Copies of this chain bind each other. A is one copy, B any other.
Amino acid sequence: MSDRKEFRDLADPEEAHEAIESLDLTPVPETVPLDDARGRVLAKRIDAELDVPGFDRASMDGYAVRARDTFGADEADPATLDLIGAVHAGATPEVTVDPGTCAEISTGAVMPDGADAVVMVERTTEMTGEDGDDRIEIRTSVAPGDHVMFAGADIAAGGRALGPGTEITPREIGLLSALGVDEVPVRGKPTVGIVSTGDELVRPGDDLHSERGQIYDVNSYTIAAGVEEAGGEARLYPHAGDDYDEMERLLVEASEECDLVLSSGSTSASAVDVIYRVIEDRGELLLHGVSVKPGKPMLVGRVGDSAYVGLPGYPVSALTIFRTFVAPAIRGAAGKPEPRTATVTGRMAVEERYSEGRMRLMPAGLVNDESGETLVYPVDKGSGATTSLVEADGVVVVDADTEYLAAGEAVEVTLFSPDVRAPTLLGVGEDDPALSRLLDRVERPRYLPVGSREGLRRLRDGLPDVAVVAGPTSRDAVATRDPTGNGDPEPAETLGAWTREWGLVVPTGNPDDVTGLADLVDRDLRFVNRDSNSGLRVSLSNALADLAEERGTTRREVTEAVDGFDRAVRAHESPARRVLAGDADAGLGLRATAERLGAGFLSLGTQEVRVYANPGRTGKPGVDRLRTAIADADDVFASLAGYER
């Protein structure tokens, strides 16, 4: 570990932009069929190769006439012309309109020789002359050219139709169709190779061996989707371990096939070292380390003839750095315009301190208060959490010299895309399967399963719209009306409540014949608990306290006798899954979970789950929607074993 690279001379973010811009990612132009051209960018000017329309064209249903024959005609004194035939759209005219005659004509038909105007059918009357021939009474006068679209009047051959760099939307496709263009010259999509590094990475869909420390590869697919969103074409390369030769082979192979090579994935410093050496040996390193958080370990350079950017390993960091520095370069090479980035101004809901002296791209979540004003809170679960990818709505750019953001201070959030909107409901609290189903009935909710205790704490601070609390609680459910103000906490409204049956989840068929809580204390059984934020844990602790009292001992003595009382896991199904995996003999859980997973279950009681609304948000539409969903949820409670309203 002694040769680990230190990033001492960090570049400014501006230098990083410039370094990436100095690399040439521009792909060769290509030609695509018209029906694949949407979203592409014209590589060159398109001039019309033909007149549109290609002929003088009737633009109304009616009669083709010589305008001169209609002069002076009106309702009182119509002109009468001999009808000599008809011209339909898509047919060659077989008549000539001589003086005193006219021809029936359809919209879009070719003007017959001799005719120079069209009279709308509404201003005419069909009649039969004394000789039995058809005549048309014309009750208006028209000028030459009336209701005729002349050849080339839309666009004429040789005319400039569309300029280079035009992004092709349905409208441009319309004009290209009119010109008969079925092959469109477009700018190529820059090919971006993605090399994920790390011996521990497994592709989604493959088997995962957690015991060997394997995790699914997050960055490859995330960055590939980002590349495609920016107008590039992503190519995934097999995972590279930290071996120099393998890394060199992969990076060189990717550089030969792609306009840009991105590496990402491994969070270990040794992999970064290996990449660093490969780039120095087989290319050029323009920049290593950028003064931005996250993203310090960014590399910019070349491998072979290809551009190269090394992204940090943690998913949120990798995507943030990709969006900030790499996506603009890909868009530039693809000729795509910078998207109209949406920004939202809001007030910080909490204070935030920061003093690392480099620019910070702070992932931020949004919540609207009842008046629609936006509150902003930092999302920093650290340590490579992938859930923060979806728990943040955008980024607040914090200057290197800003050390403190006060609660209530106005900040600007750059949204991840212009279509991002604040969730309609921000909930926190207990992890509960009924709640999860209820949230399916709310549009765009966000729920942070922080547990009952932490949920109550956050409700008290006033940030979330609702908190979901299970089991007995020692605290009143109250919330401050405004997380940035100093108002006194007020009682929270109960939106709805239900009960759930809890107890011990045991292996299918209960092979150890566990009969109750006492067995955990008295027998040699491996137990899995929930963490102390969980309402289930509170109910269990109370039950153990009762047992201790029965036995005339302390609760501590009882809990210390349970093997695994401190083996706490985070979500409601986790203990049951450990039991089914053979890692434990009993776990804390719900009847509903046990039945769903096909495990055995020993009931220890029921506990209440209560949904509290922040008193400052009771009128928010999302809160209202959840209130209604709970009221209408008989089907949900009926579908879950052990649940009752």
**Interface residue ranges, A against B (CB under 8 Å):** 1-2, 4, 34-35, 38, 45, 47-48, 50-55, 57, 59, 61, 87-92, 104, 106-110, 121, 126, 149-167, 169-183, 198-206, 208, 210-226, 228-229, 241, 266-270, 313, 315, 319, 337, 339-340, 342, 381-387, 389-390, 416-419, 421, 431, 433, 436-437, 439-440, 443-445, 447, 449, 569-574, 576-577, 593
Contacts and interface: CB of A to CB of B under 8 A. Distances in A.
A350 B418 CA distance: 32
When A and B form their complex, which 7 residue pairs have the shortest distance between CB atoms, in order from nearest? A158-B573, A156-B571, A54-B210, A182-B205, A90-B200, A90-B199, A174-B222
B107 A269 contact: yes
Contacts of A228: 38
Contacts of A319: 170-171, 174
A571 B386 contact: no
A204 B216 contact: no
A367 to B, nearest CB: 17
Contacts of A269: 61, 107
A362 to B, nearest CB: 16
How many copies the complex holds: the figure is 2
B445 A163 contact: yes
A177 B204 contact: yes
27 contacts: A38-B228, A51-B570, A55-B211, A59-B382, A88-B199, A90-B199, A91-B212, A106-B270, A108-B266, A108-B267, A153-B570, A158-B433, A158-B593, A159-B431, A160-B447, A163-B439, A163-B440, A170-B319, A171-B222, A171-B390, A174-B218, A174-B219, A176-B204, A180-B206, A183-B205, A339-B419, A340-B418
B571 A213 contact: no
A153 B385 contact: yes
B216 A159 contact: no
Given A1-B61, A229-B38, A222 B386 contact: no
A337 B109 CA distance: 42
Contacts of A337: 419
Contact of A220 (B165, B177, B383): B177
B390 A162 contact: yes
Contacts of A386: 52, 154-155, 174-175, 177-178
A625 to B, nearest CB: 13
Given A342-B340, A443-B165, A384 B59 contact: yes
Given A222-B170, A574-B51, A199 B89 contact: yes
Contact of A387 (B155, B390, B571): B155
Contacts of A106: 268, 270
A211 to B, nearest CB: 6
